[in-house]
Chains A and B, each alone.
Chain A
Amino acid sequence: MIGSVCVKIAGRDAGKECIIVDTISKHEVLIDGNTRRRKCNLKHLQFIGKKVELRKGASSEEVKKALESLKITIEKKAPAKIKKTRQEAQEAQKVKKPEVKKEKKGFKLFGKKEDKGKKEKKPKEKKVAKKKTEKKEG
C-alpha cells in the first residue's frame, strides 16, 4: 500500500495527485504530495496503477522527488502569511504615520498650483457668461 500513487477525488484538494506514506487503519491512510499532508479515507482516493519505492513515514521532500521522477508537475503553494504580534503591528503603524503626513504636505502644494490655474480659467468663463447675457438682452 505504501508508495502507491493516487488522485484525490473528494474535498478541496480534489483532482490533485498524492502518494500514500503511511497506513493508519483498515480504511484510513496518510497521504502527501500536491495535496496537504493529511489523513484520508481510501474511498476518497482513485488509484492510478503506479507505485514508487518509499520508506514508511517519508518526509514531504522525499515525496516530491518521487513525484518528479514520474513526471508529475508539482504545484507551488502560496507562501504562508506570518501573523504579527500586537507589539510588532503597533511599531509598524508608528513608522508609517510620518510618511502619510509628508504625502499630505505634497497634496497641499499641488493644490496651490491648481488654484493658480483655476484663477486664469475663471475670467474666461465669466466672459462667456457675459456674452450669453448680452445676447439675451439684445
Chain B
Amino acid sequence: MARIEVKGQPRFKTKASKKVRKRTPGVRTVTHYKKKKTAKHVCAVCKGLLLGVPRGRIIEIKKMLKSQRVPERPFAGQLCSKCTREVLKLRAKLKFGLIKEKDIPLKLKNYVLPISKK
C-alpha cells in the first residue's frame, strides 16, 4: 500500500473543493485539490436537463463565444425546448384571441403573460 500525502495550500482543503489523487514520478500518491464544477442546468418547469448549455467553472464558460454558451432561442438557458414550444403556442393563441387567460395552466402562467401583467 502506497502512503497518501496531502499537498497543496490549506485554504483549498475544504469540502467545497474536490480531491484528486495523483501518482507522482517518484511513485508516491498525492492528493491535489481542484475546484468543483457548477451543478447541471435544469428546466424551470419540468426539471429536465438542458441541452446545449455547457457546465464548468464560471471562468471557463466566460471565455467561450456567446453562441456557444446558450442556444439562440427565446427562453434559452431557462426552459427546455419542449416547454418553450408550449409557452410560445399559448402566447400566439392568446395574442390572436383563440383562448383566454383562464385557459393557461398555472405552471406556465409566469412565462406566457407579458411582464407588465404579472
Contact = CB atoms under 8 A, between A and B. Distances in A.
Interface of A: 7, 9-12, 14-15, 46, 48-50
A15 B90 CA distance: 11
A5 to B, nearest CB: 8
**Helix, strand, loop or mixed for chain A's interface?**
loop
Nearest to A7: B92
**Helix, strand, loop or mixed for chain B's interface?**
helix
Contact of B88 (A12, A46, A49, A50): A46
Contacts of B81: 10
Which of B72, B81, B92, B98 gathers the greatest number of chain A CB atoms within 10 Å? B92
Interface of B: 72-74, 81, 84-85, 88-89, 91-93, 96, 98
A12 B71 CA distance: 8
A33 to B, nearest CB: 13
Contacts, number: 34
A9 to B, nearest CB: 5
Contacts of B93: 46, 48
Contacts of A10: 73, 81, 85
Given A14-B74, A15-B91, A48-B93, 11 more contacts: A7-B91, A9-B84, A9-B85, A10-B73, A10-B81, A11-B72, A12-B72, A12-B73, A14-B73, A46-B89, A48-B92
Nearest to B75: A14
Nearest to B76: A12
B74 A15 contact: yes
A95 B91 CA distance: 52
A49 B91 CA distance: 14
Contacts of B88: 7, 9, 14-15, 46
Contacts of B84: 9, 14
Contacts of A46: 88-89, 92-93
B85 A50 contact: no
Contact of B98 (A11, A12, A49): A49
Contacts of A7: 88, 91-92
Contacts of B73: 10-12, 14
A11 B73 CA distance: 6
10 contacts: A7-B92, A9-B85, A9-B88, A9-B92, A14-B73, A14-B88, A15-B88, A15-B92, A49-B96, A49-B98
